[in-house]
Amino acid sequence: MKANRLAVAAILSLSLAFLSACSGSKENTVKLQGAGASFPAPLYLKWFKNYGAAHPNVQVDYQSVGSGTGVKNFLDKTVDFAASDRAMTPDEMSKVNGGVQLIPMTAGAIVLAYNLPDVPDLKLSRDAYSGIFLGKVKTWNDPLIAKSNPGAKLPATPINVVVRADGSGTSYVFTKHLSTINPDFQKTVGVDQAPNWPVGTKSKGNEGVTASIITTPGAIGYVEYGYAHSQNLHMATLENKSGSFVAPTTDSAKAALASAQLPADMIVWVSDPDGKDAYPIVTFTWMCFYKQYSDKDKLEALKALVNYGLTDGQKESEALGYVPLPESVVTKAQDAVKGL
């Protein structure tokens, strides 16, 4: 009888140990919350899906809400990381106790996608496209556009400009470029994540701008290359600093970024790149991390996730329209990850 009781006790003990182990495995699931830029969202979402499939104990929830909202959430500490195409300002970083680490994760081109079915190969000079977003070039057959497109069937119809409605790193990078090439734009609009555009219908996110261009005849708007490419939108060939007209491609974006030297704070802008083959509107895009995390499991999961993005994740870039980071940038980024 005693032996039976001992056997039952042993079975119960093993059962409790098993249940405890199961319970522990659930508790060890790490949930990471991120928010921010829509520019890199298609790539990030693929990374997080692939990483989660290989590491079921790590769940990543990323919300594509725009760089401005992402940084605000980061400052409010309602997320574990943010993503931003405009990086963070020194003033913003000074508000975070313990410090902030920005890490470039990918790069890409901002394109001018348009809806003119009869004009598949539109060329826009610097004066033309800056004039469009200043509201000074108002019709598709404007002389500034016609000059670069001899023989094209340019309609005498209004240009329907589409801009971002939300605080956007894409807007920041685009206005930084326009301010660099056009003094009038610098004076009247300037560099801003939420510029006061003198013209345009507003849509939220790269997703919203892309959708508006698709559904609006005669529309033009600025979006990340991958969004336009995935929807087979026409993309304008733009005049660059050397006077060459360059189409947005992975190679032309690489040429634009080739001269970028990453400083210690990991923030570098290529607002008007040199080089005959360089596409003129390109940028790195960053993830924002706290330098200190109180949750050790969360910290280790974040570091492993970021290292995946910097290594195997880079192999996914080109297929989605992004530019893989140069090896020198990856090395500096991995060193920064070690310091978290």
172 with 221, same domain: the answer is yes
Q: Is residue 8 part of a domain?
A: no
pLDDT band at 7 (very low <50, low <70, confident <90, very high): very low
Whether the per-residue pLDDT at 10 is higher than 90: the answer is: no
Average pLDDT over residues 268-282: 95
- Arithmetic mean of pLDDT over the chain: 92
113 with 103, same domain: the answer is no
85 with 132, same domain: the answer is no
123 with 245, same domain: the answer is yes
Q: Is residue 219 part of a domain?
A: yes
pTM, rounded to two decimals: 0.87
172 with 129, same domain: the answer is yes
CATH of the domain at 40: 3.40.190.10
Taking only the tens place, the pLDDT of each residue in 310-334 is 999 999 999 999 999 999 999 999 9
Whether the per-residue pLDDT at 337 is higher than 60: the answer is: yes
Whether the per-residue pLDDT at 233 is higher than 50: the answer is: yes
91's CB contacts (< 8 A; 6+ apart) are none
SS3 100: strand
Task: Check: CB of residue 80 under 8 Å from CB of residue 298.
Answer: yes
pLDDT band at 28 (very low <50, low <70, confident <90, very high): confident
Determine which of 14-23, 206-215, 256-265 has the lowest per-residue pLDDT on average: 14-23
Looking at the structure of the chain, the number of domains it has is 2
- Beta pairing partners, 31: 59
Q: Is residue 161 part of a domain?
A: yes
Q: Is residue 52 part of a domain?
A: yes
127 with 49, same domain: the answer is no
246 with 138, same domain: the answer is yes
pLDDT band at 260 (very low <50, low <70, confident <90, very high): confident
Taking only the tens place, the pLDDT of each residue in 37-52 is 999 999 999 999 999 9
Q: Is residue 17 part of a domain?
A: no
Taking only the tens place, the pLDDT of each residue in 75-104 is 999 999 999 999 999 999 999 999 999 999
**φ and ψ at residue 282, rounded to 5 degrees:** -135, 160
* Domain region containing 163: 109-258+268-282
pLDDT band at 303 (very low <50, low <70, confident <90, very high): very high
| Dist. CA 296–CA 308, nearest whole Å | 18
Q: What's the pLDDT at 27?
A: 52
248 with 328, same domain: the answer is no
Q: Is residue 332 part of a domain?
A: yes
What percentage of the chain reaches a pLDDT higher than 70? 92
pLDDT band at 17 (very low <50, low <70, confident <90, very high): very low
Q: Give the Å distances, CA to CA, from 137 to 5, 128, 240, 287.
A: 91, 7, 19, 36
Q: What's the pLDDT at 171?
A: 96
* Burial of 66 (C-beta count, 10 Å sphere; 0-12/13-18/19+): buried
